[in-house]
Amino acid sequence: MSNDTTESPYQIPHELVALRQKSDEDCYRVSLSKAAQDAGIEKGSKVTVQLDLQETPPMIIIGSAPDDTELPGMEVRTFHQKVLVPNKDLEDLGIDLNSYDDTQEPFLFYPHVLEEMIALEPLGYASDVLDDQDADRDVEADEDATEADEPDVNEASEPATAVSPDDITATSNATGVSESELKQAVTTVTTTVDRDDLDDIRSDEFNPLLGDETEIVFVKPDKWTAMVGDALDRDEDLVEAVRLAFNRAARDVIGADRDYRRFEKSADAVVLRD
């Protein structure tokens, strides 16, 4: 059984997407946050997923659908950065799901972006696709190395975390966990937690909230501990520090909203990059 947190032997180019298997479940998905943004497909909107065998090569078509759409024989799903692809469609593309292991040999797609639509072109397994691309990139890297004089000081050294620096510092001071370790732990959680899985364990009392660049999902405390604990190898001090950091970040967004101010009595927050 595949696990999203297992490191793949391949470095997937940013322009391609890999078919991933949901942990402990026999279903498969692709992450399309960048492609969806370019296509104008918003998080939380309804999308249709269908295999078009008339195209050459065949394409998996993901398109926007009205919220009240009911289309017999067509998969309609809620888009949350990742989209589940029907097993039958994958088998029709020749992918053997019985032996599929995305951590060792992921299957890759190229997302063609259209208006409110993404067409996933199947490229093949990473070992076949990336051999040629890696060779091309090695040549380009050698050429770039001869032209590069100094690093770009304006280039960001790392992506921003989902929790503000002030909240990282305050939580570090309160728990004794170093800022660098806490920041890395927050990043680990926000990049490994699956948004679809959160829907299954979120609190019934509080709807998700959107910050400036974040989404906050409120989760039942016992489920939160199990989920984050898995991502952080059961380091209790680190798990508690991340919990406090997420809840601080949630309070920043909540402000004076009376409906949410007491959320910590019955829920904990998960903060994701929007």
CB proximity list for 231: less than 8 A, separation 6 or greater:
5, 188, 189, 192, 193
pLDDT band at 83 (very low <50, low <70, confident <90, very high): confident
Q: Tell me: the pLDDT tens digits for 155-193?
A: 333 445 678 888 899 888 888 888 888 888 888 887 777
**H or E element that contains 249:** helix 236-254
The pLDDT value given to residue 191: 78
Tokens 């190229």 label which residue? 110
Higher pLDDT, 68 or 35: 35
Q: Which residues pair with 62 in a beta bridge?
A: 49, 118
pLDDT of residue 140: 43
Asked if residue 147 has pLDDT above 50, the reply is no
Give the C-alpha distances (Å, rounded to integers) separating 78 from 62, 69, 75, 89: 11, 12, 10, 18
Contact 38, 132 (CB under 8 A): no
pLDDT bracket for residue 84 (50, 70, 90): confident
Residue 12's Cβ-count burial label (10 Å; 0-12, 13-18, 19+) is middle
Q: Pick the closest to residue 20 from 109, 94, 135 (CA basis).
A: 109
Let me know if 67 is exposed, middle or buried by CB neighbors in 10 A (0-12, 13-18, 19+). Answer: exposed
pLDDT tier, 120 (very low <50, low <70, confident <90, very high otherwise):
very high
pLDDT in tens, 39-54: 888 877 888 888 888 8
74 touches 37 (CB < 8 A): no
Instruction: Place 138 in a pLDDT band, splitting at 50, 70 and 90.
Output: very low
Does the reported pTM lie above 0.85? no
Q: What is the mean pLDDT of residues 52-63?
A: 86
